[in-house]
Structure 1
Amino acid sequence: MLPRPLTQSVIVQSAALSTNYNPMRLRSPLEITRSVVFALVLREMRGRFGRIRLGAVWVILEPMSHMIVLGTIMKLRSAASPSYEFLVFLLMGLAPFLLYKNIVLKLMGSVEANKSLFSYKQIQPADAFFARTIVEFCISSITFLILYIALTWYGYSTAITDPIAWLFAIFLGIAFSFALGIFYAMLAEAIPELRTLLSLTFMPLYLLSGVIYPINRLPHSIIDYLLWNPYLHIIDLIRAATFKHYRLYPGVSFEYVVKCTIVASFAAYAAYRVRKYRLMSL
């Protein structure tokens, strides 16, 4: 990460330029926000990859290591399915889940990482949330494309049957994770002792969201309870849009995820409104 004075000066100068009077026109609040978010995105990128050269390599190695280990285990323990290639099946569940997890956890830590900037009126906590989400989406997209192209190159069947439904499921998961991340951030700032507990919630979700196994291979006695998990629906919807003969588990639907996203968004917005000025005064 760059020295704090330099990093802050870059952001503040970029944001300040947005508020300077132009004799031709006055810049709109949307343009000011866009400039601030862009400066914060640059700051996040420099902080992530500026001094740690292996940072970019680890971004690719993390999902690849998951795929190699899990793919080897599953190949040894079970027979291949005629409906899909297992590594493609794993990629379509693992890559989105890691994206959603990183969005939530990075948003939870964004207030602590950027609170020294909130004393400037141009920079709002919401700008930091948008910036981190954009960074995580860009990094995960590049990683996914690299792995997707690699699997295609090695002869795996990677065709996506319904691209529109696939994209809708991906972005619906991003919207839900964005709202959940803001809510987590507000909880973590209000009750710092919850920070570690909230971070650990994705460990069981990794196993209970159908990332490794199809839903129908999970214990049937607990599936009705697992269907309360929106990520289980999202992962299954992504795979149903990918594979032609993949069958959605009964009860999985876009409607449930949309409802969860709306509820999470209202909860996040309410918590943000209550805590906004408290965050800016830290």
Structure 2
Amino acid sequence: MPACTAARSLEIHGLPGRAGGLLDRIMAATDNDMSSVPYGGARGRNLRRVKLARSSLDIQRDVLFAIFLRELKSRFSGYVLGNVWLILEPLMMMVLFITLFGLRGRGEFGFVEPPVFILAAFLPFKMLWGSTMKQNMTSRGAALSVLNFRQARLFDIFLARTLVEGGVAVIVGIVLMIGLAWLGVNPLPRDPLSMLGYAAILWVFAASAGILFCVVSSFSREIEKLINLINLPLLFLSAVFFPMTAVPEPARTWMAYNPLVHPLELIREAWFPLYQSPVASLSYFAWWTVGAMTLALASYRLQWRRMLAS
């Protein structure tokens, strides 16, 4: 049997009881670029030994997949209330918003139902920005056990956590939209492709900021606490609970310097047919995203050894 055919015949059957076991198996399979594996008939008869050629891309894919499953298990196993909280938190914010503003809120923000307004702004801010940034910022603590394998890198943990948070945000958004539709509220965006594009840029910006903050916090642990404290006032400074059309000058101009205002306003424009933001700028936020990504990748490249040693 040719080596390429043998490479395609390799399969990992089943999932072990612990994510660490799956990580061990995949890492063992990728331990060498040229490894020897058995194949043959049932019950091990007529086994042969062949050389399995694996490219760097194959190894990277398996490592990332293993860490991704590990992050999923550590995030959702054993914490039932924490999983339910993913849905309850935005629901509670919707109820609070309706209670505080009521009919007055619907009159002031007449272009949209209050629950959909919260869904369109709070969910991207909380999950795409807050959770993704925080998970990447705290990745050094989760790297100790994974980095015992020589194929794994800290950057693999960044990628896996970013993918997990993005997937969780999509699932929570779909569940909430189905719930709103069941209650008779139309949650569908006017331009879903543009809305998803703006959300994806916010997601990349959050991942880049998290990597950058992880590098900075390696110099001082207090940086993480400071960033967590700043995240709370950002709820109001980023216009999560109100549209920028309701902000008078000159506060509107000053708030527009906050890069997080722009993706939220762009998402509202793509979601609500009658809403036109007075400050939203895709180019402004795109430059912030490119700058954050450049700084994050450059600082990680220069400081990754120090990050693991600290």
Report if TM-score (shorter chain) is over 0.5: yes
Q: Partner of 2:229 in structure 1?
A: 200
Q: Partner of 2:249 in structure 1?
A: 220
Once the two structures are TM-superposed, the CA of residue 127 in structure 1 deviates from its matched residue by 0.5
- SS of residue matched to 1:229: coil
* Alignment partner of 1:83 is 2:106: no
Q: Partner of 1:18 in structure 2?
A: 30
Once the two structures are TM-superposed, the CA of residue 269 in structure 1 deviates from its matched residue by 0.9
One-letter amino acid matched to 2:294: F
**Which shows bigger deviation, 96-105 or 109-118?**
109-118
CA contact (8 A) 2:124 2:264 kept: yes
Per-residue CA deviations over 1:229-274 (Å, capped at 9, x if unaligned) read 121000000010011111121x311111110011001110111011
Q: Partner of 1:3 in structure 2?
A: none
Q: Residue 276 of structure 2: which of 208, 222, 247 is its match?
A: 247
Once the two structures are TM-superposed, the CA of residue 188 in structure 1 deviates from its matched residue by 1.1
Once the two structures are TM-superposed, the CA of residue 158 in structure 1 deviates from its matched residue by 2.0
Once the two structures are TM-superposed, the CA of residue 24 in structure 1 deviates from its matched residue by 6.0
Bigger Rg, structure 1 or 2? 2
Distance 1:204 1:71, change over 3 A: same
* Alignment partner of 1:184 is 2:179: no
The normalised TM-score by structure 1 is 0.91
Once the two structures are TM-superposed, the CA of residue 221 in structure 1 deviates from its matched residue by 2.1
State the distance in 1 between where 2:156 and 2:21 align: 16
- SS of residue matched to 2:80: coil
**Which shows bigger deviation, 200-209 or 29-38?**
29-38
Once the two structures are TM-superposed, the CA of residue 98 in structure 1 deviates from its matched residue by 0.9
State the distance in 1 between where 2:60 and 2:307 align: 18
State the distance in 2 between where 1:71 and 1:97 align: 19
Q: Partner of 1:57 in structure 2?
A: 84
CA contact (8 A) 1:108 1:184 kept: yes
Once the two structures are TM-superposed, the CA of residue 7 in structure 1 deviates from its matched residue by 5.2
Superposition RMSD in Å? 1.8
- SS of residue matched to 1:182: helix
After superposition, residues 21-36 of structure 1 pair within 5 angstroms as 21-22=34-35, 23=50, 26-36=53-63
State the distance in 2 between where 1:78 and 1:125 align: 46
Once the two structures are TM-superposed, the CA of residue 113 in structure 1 deviates from its matched residue by 1.9
Q: Partner of 2:12 in structure 1?
A: none
State the distance in 1 between where 2:269 and 2:284 align: 16
Q: What is the number of residues matched between the two proteins?
A: 276
Identity rate, percent = 31
Distance 1:112 1:158, change over 3 A: same
Once the two structures are TM-superposed, the CA of residue 27 in structure 1 deviates from its matched residue by 2.0
State the distance in 2 between where 1:123 and 1:65 align: 39
Gaps of 5+ in 2: 1-17, 36-49
Distance 1:12 1:219, change over 3 A: farther
State the distance in 2 between where 1:54 and 1:16 align: 35
Q: Partner of 2:44 in structure 1?
A: none
State the distance in 1 between where 2:101 and 2:55 align: 54
Q: Partner of 1:275 in structure 2?
A: 303
State the distance in 2 between where 1:170 and 1:76 align: 29
* Alignment partner of 1:175 is 2:187: no
- SS of residue matched to 2:250: helix
State the distance in 2 between where 1:159 and 1:11 align: 39
State the distance in 1 between where 2:139 and 2:27 align: 18
Q: Partner of 1:150 in structure 2?
A: 179
Q: Partner of 2:101 in structure 1?
A: 74
The normalised TM-score by structure 2 is 0.83
Per-residue CA deviations over 1:132-157 (Å, capped at 9, x if unaligned) read 11111121211111111111121212
